Amino acid sequence: MTPPPTFAALVTDRTRRLGTRLCVGLDPRLSLYRDPAHLRGHTLDVLEATAPYAACVKPQLAFFEALGLPGFTLLEEVCAAARTLGLPVLLDGKRGDIGSTAEAYAQGWLAGGHAGDALTVNPFLGFGTLTPFVEAARANGGAVFVLVKTSNPDQADLQGGGLSERVAAEVARLGAEEEGEYASVGAVVGATHPGDLAAFRTAMPRALLLLPGLGAQGAAAADLTPAFHPGGTGALASASRAVQYAQGLSVVASRDAAQRLRNELNAALT
């Protein structure tokens, strides 16, 4: 029996078939809504409206966790709705821990009832801590995106001095163990570092690159071209606030923002 397509294959197919390499982030902030029901409806409406322009969707776990049990219920709804729409789900949780704790995180977020198809992971407790996540991703046709160089200004406190390059080398090593166009081990490289994108693309030739920071954090589509392979594959540009809250709580504005960012990325790559 042929296994189902992997996360990497699904997003690459959407890039080629639908002409999109946009990752739509969902950051449902309770303070912006009348009540949890309002938040739920708007989040699901934004997901449906932006799906035609997205290669994948990226729920930020922190905002769902902040809602308590109803947040986990909503997350399951978001994941189910995304899959109905044909959208792969990348959970942004930046998980990382040791031993059995890492195994539990991997089980919960890459194989459990509210699991995603992919998960962002933190390698800064040591490369051995990545093993449970990588194994769970491979076993379930998913993916992990390892933090290599994040989009926030404070990243330089710890990620300078060649540390990001060491993490990139480990991502490349793990990817080399697999077959296929793109490996299950990808990397987070901030879109706010356009001058570094070419070097990281070269260092991790088989990794999908997740590029956070498009829009609200100041990155522009035209800056991101070095992260892509010929044909415009190999990277996902992520925008969250710039889409979900493009103009207050207007779902039409969210849809238009996703379409515009999709088009800007396409124009930059032609």
Q: CA angle, corner 117, sides to 266 and 141, nearest 5?
A: 105
Q: Which residue intervals of 25-162 are DSSP H helices?
A: 36-50, 61-65, 69-84, 99-110, 131-139, 156-159
Cβ(206)–Cβ(179) under 8 Å?
Answer: no
CA-to-CA distance for 31 and 149, rounded, in angstroms? 30
The pair of structure tokens assigned to 40 is: 């739920």
**Residue in the block written with tokens 């308590």:** 68
Catalytic residues: 94
Cβ(138)–Cβ(184) under 8 Å?
Answer: yes
Q: Which amino acid is at 12?
A: T
Cβ(20)–Cβ(268) under 8 Å?
Answer: no
CB atoms within 10 A of CB 263: 15
